[in-house]
Amino acid sequence: MKNRAVSEKPGFFRSKEGGSVVAIVATTVLIIMKMVGSLLTGSIGLRADAIHSIIDLSGAVIGLVGIKIAARPADQGHAFGHGKAENLAGAIIGVFIFLAACFIAYEAIDRLISATPIQMIAAGIYITVGAIVINLLAAWYGLRIARATDSAALEATSHDLLADSLSSVAVLAGLVIVAITGNHIFDTIVALAVSLIIFRTAVITVSQSIGSLMDKRLPQHEEEIITRHLAECSDVVGFHALRTRKAGSERHIDVHVTVPSEFTVSRAHEICDQLEEKIKHNLPNSRITIHVEPHGYHG
């Protein structure tokens, strides 16, 4: 009997597409809030945060496109499916995040030179608090769905939202300090700090996505699950040449197993089916190729 959690299709708002749509809506609201706050106060920190959210929105849209492409079934031109579209989307999102960091740093340095004062600081503080709450909720929701569906693109979008919430906390701290001290340089310092936070997020996002595009092996704990099932099978004499990789949310596993030479083809096939079922139960969305060799074979 198949596991219900694996076999049943989740509702829209528990799917990768639903998580992406929520991220897009939340980010659109954040952009409006932060742009209004930036216009009211003249805060470069809030402007930097608004620019970050615009990059978030672009990334969320790219992520949704990547998810939809990755969901397409294998065809004549793509025999292994379209899973890597998610990883490519994640890499593109990472580049957008990096560009945002560079632009914010430039704006902060320009403000430091011009020394333009901030107005209506209280309004900026209230808007930033609201933005933080929305950001955290959207990031938490997105990460929860990304981990449940194993979506590289949605995880990249959610990490971007989380970085945005951290930058908003920095902006809030800067505005509070400016309100207390009257020294506007703290707003610029916060904007520079935000650019560093965003840059770090860009590096992490790009490295993770490129790792999958370069067919990086599965995490060690996942390979240990595979080897444990192979070792526990009493009909398997041994195994070797284990190769793993990931394409979007799909795991690709290739391994050679050795069975007693007297086993029939039918019996060997049954063993492979049992192994595949056990591995897929613990590692959903796996594509497994098992090469069977008779014991004593040295080809």
At which of 175, 193, 213 does a domain end?
A: 213
Do 272 and 182 lie in a common domain?
A: no
What is the phi-psi region of residue 151: left when phi exceeds 0, alpha when psi lies from -120 to 50, beta otherwise? beta
Q: Which domain holds residue 46?
A: 4-213
At which of 182, 213, 244 does a domain end?
A: 213
Do 189 and 155 lie in a common domain?
A: yes
Most confident of 28-37, 80-89, 154-163, 202-211: 28-37
Do 191 and 94 lie in a common domain?
A: yes
DSSP 60-83: HHHHHHHHHHHTSPP-SS-TT-ST
Q: What value does the mean pLDDT take over residues 217-241?
A: 88
Do 270 and 124 lie in a common domain?
A: no
Domain count, the chain: 2
Q: Is 299 part of any domain?
A: no
Do 82 and 136 lie in a common domain?
A: yes
Do 233 and 278 lie in a common domain?
A: yes
Give the tens place of pLDDT for each residue, 178-199: 888 877 777 777 777 777 877 8
Residue 2's pLDDT is 41
Q: Is 165 part of any domain?
A: yes
Q: Is 136 part of any domain?
A: yes
Give the tens place of pLDDT for each residue, 242-262: 988 876 667 888 899 998 888
Return the number of other C-beta atoms located less than 10 Å from residue 137's C-beta.
14
Percent above pLDDT 70 for the chain: 82
* Beta bridge mates, 294: 259
Query: Which H or E element spans position 277?
Result: helix 265-282
Here the CATH number for the domain that contains residue 239 is 3.30.70.1350
* Beta bridge mates, 247: 250
- What's the whole-model pTM score? 0.53
Is pLDDT larger for residue 262 or for residue 208?
262
Here the CATH number for the domain that contains residue 76 is 1.20.1510.10
pLDDT at position 89 over 50: yes
